[in-house]
Amino acid sequence: MDVINQHTGEKWYYSDIVKDHFFHPRNLLLEKPQNEDEYDAHGMVGSSACGDMMEMWMKIEVGSEKLEAEEERIKDLKWKTFGCASAIAATSMFSTMLTENGGMTLTNALKVRPQDVIMRLDGLPNRKIHCSVLADKAFQKTANDYFRKTGQYDRIIVDGAKIIDTKLNITDKDIEEAVLEGAQTLEDVQKKLKVGIGSPEIIAEIEQLTRFYKEKYYG
């Protein structure tokens, strides 16, 4: 299935695996669970108002009465989203990876990167790679909800933003979003954000962040 951008003429090709997970999504919930108490944690990112939104529900199986990180296995992971074919396929594959073969431990599941999911999908078009991040962020929120409910506050993942350009109030998260939207170089990022223009002392940090996020999401 090729998708052609009507503005640029660029073709986006979806692999057979992507198409399979889009047309037959695994672990998808069409409606919210009637009884959310059957799940141990819940997380949500985004907003349906802007089109990109995801909710996730997770059930954890603990091997013994004593709560040990190495024994916390993901028994079930359900999700519901407003998103494109890439977001649906990526989340379907993500949920499959975390629950197959008896389920990953929660610790190992948090190490799964968006590019790991993309590899299992046989790739995504570069312009759609940002879609695979939606599941990653929703799962992090869900895991944090579980950590709070079980009193494991030291395991909560804090994803704070750091201001890089104080004049324009641009953060590292803004640069991350720019890379996800296709910016690959310092010039690309500056074209999108105007970051660092007139502030040569922060150029090196901007370049470093651009390289970091490019490697993180594109390999």
84 counts as catalytic:
no
Our measurement of the distance from residue 6's CA atom to the centroid of its chain's CA atoms, rounded to an integer in Å, reads 27
Residues 99 and 33 sit within 8 Å (Cβ to Cβ): no
50 counts as catalytic:
yes
Closest CA to 95 of 24, 37, 47: 24
Supply 172's token pair. Answer: 């590292």
Residues 133 and 113 sit within 8 Å (Cβ to Cβ): no
| Catalytic choice (131, 164, 180, 186) | 131
Mapped onto helix, strand or coil, the DSSP state of residue 162 is coil
The one-character DSSP state at 30 is S
The one-character DSSP state at 160 is -
| Catalytic choice (50, 66, 154, 158) | 50
The DSSP result for 33-67, as a single string, is: -S-GGGSSEEEEEE-TTTS-EEEEEEEEEESSSS-
Q: Return the H-helix or E-strand segment holding 93.
A: helix 85-99
**CA-based end-to-end distance of the chain:** 24
Question: How many angstroms separate the Cα of 65 from the Cα of each of 53, 62, 71, 147, 185?
Answer: 35, 7, 10, 16, 51
Cα 146–152–155 angle (5° rounding)? 90
Catalytic residue positions, numbered: 50, 131
